[in-house]
Structure 1
Amino acid sequence: MPLVSTNAGPEKVASPSVLDSQHGSVRPLAAEDLERVAALFLAKFRRRRHLRDRAVAETAAYMREIYLDPAGQSGPSNALVQINPQGDLGGFLGVLKARYELNGTTLKAAIIGPLMADPGTDHGSAGPQLLRVLHQGEFDLYLTDSANRVSLAFARPMKYQLLPVHCLGWTCIFRPAAMAAAMLHRRWPGLPRLILDPGARAFDALAKRRFGSPIQPSSSHRVHHEPMDAAQFAERLPGLLSDYALRPRWENGELPRLLTLAAEKRADGPLHFGGTYDETGKMLGCHAFYGQAGGIANLLQIQASGSHWGATLDGLVAAAWDLGCVGITGQTQSRFMPQLFGYRNVFFRYAGGTMVRSRIAEVTEAVRSGDIFIGGLMGDRWTRLSSDDFGH
């Protein structure tokens, strides 16, 4: 069927109106909901049994920033809350608005983030009800790159297409004992490093022959890597996306603002950017990752043109190694899986469901063929909700 254009009219996406049912009502997130939603988030995703006022307040303030006060958005929030018949918060669905383009047509996209229900007030209806109400909005496609297994169970019957490769995470280990120590310290921040680090260094010295440097010899001496800043990354990334039929459409400074928000994430260190170039200075690819010496680097975005994924991945790994990281982790993509297989000490795991739903046949076909740019900045793993420990 022909692709329906959405270029005409204002960019604002109409939020669904209040929907009432025997299980309660669903409506857009409002300021007065933030503290209850923040408390539910901390209990569900940070396992906080005893909530501190500071943690709730910081989480609520961050949710206000991304769900109620995003730049350029007016009107009701796209995020939704479910209120049960007793008037209590039953569930929450985080939604961020974005734009895609396909064959010159602009599409309105909903990026789905946290989906959660209060087990004390919900009887299994909040999640499906929130998704059904979201699907009644004026979005052309709905996507997520961080669905847990419970969310997968809700979404698959609603005709979401699963992208299996994007559901995997990859980890490249540079120094195994130091990486294990970094993981333990992140899980239990109170553990003194004086206990963990000396033993890790001793073990890694013994394992050096087995693991060694992860840096691959370049296939061409004419390729080089250089750091860049956020402004340069925002300027050059869109030019590398022409290989995708279904790709994001960032306008009016949206991408620089998105990178500013992404830089607020704290769990894995500062955000670093780099590019890979040929001998003429032409960019072949670029990357962005969070990292700091002694920590595990966390990939935010990697993109390359044509056949240059290998060189771009080499630049990413070299940058994390030179920074002093003990390893690097990230989301997989089908376009650089063959290059990942060429590295030693790379492991894969399930990291979160990546799914897309659309009623437009051309969108469905692009997703089926893997011709979509998704994950990273077109997901919600860049938000502080994905990893940060609030209130510390």
Structure 2
Amino acid sequence: MTIEVEEIRASENIPAGAGPRRNIRPMTPGDVPAVGRLFNRIFRGHDRAPGDDLGRYIETVFFGSPQYHPDLGSVVHENAAGGIDSAILSVPMAFMVNGHPITARLLCAFMAESKAGAVGAARLARSMRAARQDMCFSDNASPVSADHWAAGGGLVLPIQSLEWQRSFLPLTAAAILASRHLPVVGSPILLGILGLVDRALRRLRPSMRPKAEGACRIEPAGVEEFLECAMPMLERFAIRPAWSKSEFDWLVHIASMNRSLGALECRKVVLADGRTIGAFLFFRKPTGIATVLNLVTEEGRERDVAAAMFARLDAEGYALAVGMAQPFLMNAISRQRWLSFRHRGYFCLVTRHAELRQAAERNDIYIGGLASETWSRLLTDF
């Protein structure tokens, strides 16, 4: 989540006459009320203190990670009067790069008062330049913010900047998506009528129904089984989340707090001989949207796993499935009928390591879902 701050020019250009030296420092739990109020002003358009729920959520997410350290967490900028006029909220995450561990920073919100926070915003942006970061990324940057990432030596990952949408009940799915802005469109009566029309259309257009490929089946699994499946399947990527059990459990915990997306569940894809060839972790919202966080497969089994996933989600009654695009899955995903892509926000990455940059440029990277901001309530609530 980012804010378009027009006043942030090239990050080296601090306005003349900026006054006394301001201070960039790590955010502390005592800053939560001020940062929450800044969040409300910038992203919600009202100037009031954060409610208890928002305050607790900010503290849980940005101070609770097993990877947390003040030097790798969120940062704030104090003005001459000691007030916070800009901030970057970030979560440290463990990654492996060519077999070596690093701690990356997921940037979740860049907030700045308009003119009053321009100096602080520019200084915060400068502190995130590639030359200073092992790995720093954001999965939902605005066009202006993406330009600043690029100016600071960063990359924009075009495929990960897309969201795929597979409609199973197209009219119902369109109404559910429209109801985010027009709640009346999502009324149960209207959705019921559209559902009847969709099912009639499915009889006329068999291509609306996804079909599994290969001799495999879907089995329910606990989220801890996803971790067991994912780690060996992700070893083929030069850049991948490290996901220790403690960090994975914490990520699952905070993702599960996002009840507006539904309950967090896992399914695994199994061959007839019992061997697991893939798994997917998703938010389950019955008769609505299935939000796929992470999909992993054995190398070479992408088509089988993706087709099985779509067939199962259709059978479970979802109107629509959505998820972040991944380069290694594009061939398998794109074979689906009734599938579209939309730009979800720029996925940006900066690093001072040449080997990491080169791996990202050749798409030798697995990132997103739990290893991004998709789960955050700051995107959907408050």
Determine if the TM-score, normalized by the shorter chain, exceeds 0.5: yes
CA contact (8 A) 1:215 1:317 kept: no
Which residue of 1 is the match for residue 40 of structure 2? 42
Contact 1:88 1:121 in 2 (8 A): no
| CA separation of 1:74 and 1:168: change in aligned 2, threshold 3 A | closer
Evaluate the alpha carbon distance shift between residue 216 and residue 323 of structure 1 in structure 2; reply closer, same or farther with a 3 A threshold. Answer: closer
Q: 2:173 is matched with which residue: 144, 169, 179?
A: 179
Going from structure 1 to structure 2, the CA distance change for 1:217 and 1:254 (only over 3 Å counts) comes to same
* CA contact 1:111–1:144 (8 Å) conserved in 2: yes
The match for 1:362 among 355, 362, 368 is 355
Mark the runs of 5 or more structure 1 residues left unpaired by the alignment. Answer: 1-19
Whether 1:144 aligns to 2:138 is yes
SS at match of 2:225: helix
Amino acid at match of 2:74: A
Contact map agreement 2:137 2:347 (CA 8 A) in 1: yes
In the alignment, is residue 275 of structure 1 matched against residue 282 of structure 2? no
Q: 1:72 Cα shift?
A: 5.8
* Distance of 1:96 and 1:30 partners within structure 2: 13
Correspondence for 1:112: 107
> CA, structure 1 residues 228+360, in 2 after alignment: closer, same or farther (shift >3 Å)?
same
State the Cα RMSD in Å: 2.6
SS in 2 for 1:285: strand
The CA distance in 2 between the partners of 1:192 and 1:96, in whole Å, is 34
Report the Cα distance in structure 2 between the residues aligned to 1:329 and 1:21, rounded to whole angstroms: 48
Question: SS state of the match for residue 107, structure 2?
Answer: strand
User: Does the CA-based 8 Å contact 2:239-2:365 persist in structure 1?
Assistant: yes
Q: 1:302, 1:290 → 2: CA distance? A: 12
Secondary structure of the residue that 1:306 maps to in structure 2?
coil
Distance change (3 Å), C-alpha of 1:32 and 1:253: closer
| Residue equivalent to 1:133 | 127
1:95 and 2:93 correspond: no
1:345 aligns with 2:342: no
Quote how far apart the aligned CAs of 1:137 are. Answer: 9.7
2:372 aligned residue: 379
Q: Does the 8 A contact of 2:269 with 2:276 survive in 1?
A: yes
Distance 1:210 1:345 in 2: 14
Q: 1:103 to 1:177 in 2, by over 3 A?
A: closer
Is residue 121 from structure 1 mapped to residue 116 from structure 2 by the alignment?
Answer: yes
The answer to whether the 8 A contact 2:175-2:185 is kept is: no
Aligned to 2:224: 231
- 1:326 Cα deviation from its structure 2 partner: 0.8
* Contact 1:93–1:116 (CA under 8 A) maintained in structure 2: yes
| Amino acid paired to 1:310 | R
Counterpart of 1:126, as a letter, is: G
Is 1:286–1:302's contact at 8 Å kept on the other side of the alignment? yes
User: Does residue 31 of the first structure (1) align with residue 29 of the second (2)?
Assistant: yes
Partner of 1:14: none
The TM-score, its normalising length taken from structure 1, stands at 0.84
Answering whether residue 305 of structure 2 is matched by residue 312 of structure 1, we say yes
Counterpart AA for 1:186 = R
Deviation (angstroms), 1:276: 0.9
Aligned to 1:245: 238
**Partners of 2:133 and 2:149 in 1: how far apart?**
16
Q: Deviations over 1:267-293 (max 9, x none)?
A: 221112111122222221110111222
- Distance apart, 1:220 and its partner CA: 1.9
What SS does structure 2 have at the residue aligned with 1:297?
strand
Segments of structure 2 that go 5 or more residues without pairing to the other structure are: 1-17
**SS of structure 1 residue aligned to 2:51:** helix
Q: Is the 8 A contact 1:286 1:303 kept in 2?
A: yes
Which AA in structure 1 matches 2:252?
L
Query: SS of 1:386's equivalent?
Result: coil
Alignment CA distance shift 1:44-1:195 (3 Å): farther
Cα drift, residue 327 of structure 1: 0.4
Residue equivalent to 2:147:
153
Per the alignment, residue 62 of structure 2 pairs with 67
Aligned length: 365
Letter matched to residue 370 of structure 1: N
Distance 1:117 1:247 in 2: 31
Given that 2:130 and 2:352 are in contact with CA atoms closer than 8 Å, whether structure 1 keeps it comes out as no
Check 1:211–1:349 CA distance in 2 against 1; reply closer, same or farther (3 A cut): farther
